[in-house]
Every structure is written in C-alpha cells, then in structure tokens.
Structure 1
C-alpha cells in the first residue's frame, strides 16, 4: 500500500467513483455482483481515506476525496450513461478541478 497520504486520497477517490457508479449498476441493490462490488469499493475507499487522514487535515483530505469522486462520477455519467454534457455541467466540473487544485496547494 502506498505510504504517501495524497496517493491514498487519490486511490480512495478513484474507488469512490467506482462505488458511486456501482450504485447505478446495482439497480437499487437488486443485482448481487454489482452490489457486492459497490460495498467492497466503498469500504476500501473509506479505509484508504481514513489512513490518509492520519497525517492530512480532515477538511482538505475529505474535500479532495469528494472532489475526485464528483469529478469522476460526473464525467463517467456523461460518457457511460448518456447524461447531458451541457456547458453548465462542464463548467461545474472545471470548478471542482480548480477547487481540488487550490486545496492541494493550501
């Protein structure tokens, strides 16, 4: 497991994207395999975030984690599920990226 806390936040954020998409694929927790993968992904994501928070400020780590999750989920929602890719949505995603960068630099 990486010992760099920012690497842990990054991996946890990617796992957050996975379990968020898994919520959609699980069809309200009615499909066994997507449900199991969603739960495993969520637990792994929380575990890695908790490990990173041992040495990172809670507010910054949590905000970056949720930002990565929101960015990835919104982007993949547009790509995989045909959600609208409007100018306002894309601008919102760009603002999330800006916020993540600002928090990382803080």
Structure 2
C-alpha cells in the first residue's frame, strides 16, 4: 500500500512543478490561483511522502519520489510546455525509469 501512496506522492510532485510552470506564464489573479494550486499540491505531495516512509526506507522512498517527479516533469514539459524531446533526453529519461523500477524490485518492502 505504501508503494501506491509513494507513486501518488510522485504524481503530486509533477502537479506542483506544473503549477509553478503555469504560474510563470500567467499574470494577475490567474497567477495567484496557480500559486495556490502549487502550495496545495506541494503540501499533499510532502504529506504522502511522509506517510509512505512509515514502512519504506527513507532513501528508497525519496529516490523514487524524486525520480517520478523528474520523469513526470520532463514529460509534462515536452507535451505541454514545448520542451525539446531530443534523443539524449529520452535516453536518460528511460534510464531514470529503469532505475525507479530497479529500486522497487530490490526493495524488501
């Protein structure tokens, strides 16, 4: 169950970085709404990360959380913010995904 919580925490990390990206491109009240969404998703992500570390090792949980956030944020950048999708970026995203899966496979929990 804590692995599921950890994955959800990682998805909320993607959400809070995406909110930050949207807030940078807007002005006025719309920007404040994006910053509010950033604060809410950031807090939720941190809370879920803390919950997942009740049984998962902290180092493993943190590495997986940041990995999910990194992969998700890069993919959000490619699909929604027009970041480049070069061969080397995709290659290293794939190695990061393999590392996250590998940490799950070798974890005792």
How many Å apart are 1:25 and its aligned residue? 0.9
- Runs of 4+ in structure 1 off by over 4 angstroms are none
| Paired residues for 1:1-80 under 5 Å | 4-27=1-24, 31-80=31-80
SS of 2:24 mapped into structure 1:
coil
Q: Is the 8 A contact 1:29 1:35 kept in 2?
A: no
TM-score normalised by the chain length of structure 2: 0.90
Which runs of 5 or more residues in structure 2 are unaligned?
none
How many Å apart are 1:76 and its aligned residue? 1.1
TM-score normalised by the chain length of structure 1: 0.93
Count of matched residue pairs: 103
RMSD over aligned Cα, in angstroms? 1.4
Which runs of 5 or more residues in structure 1 are unaligned?
none
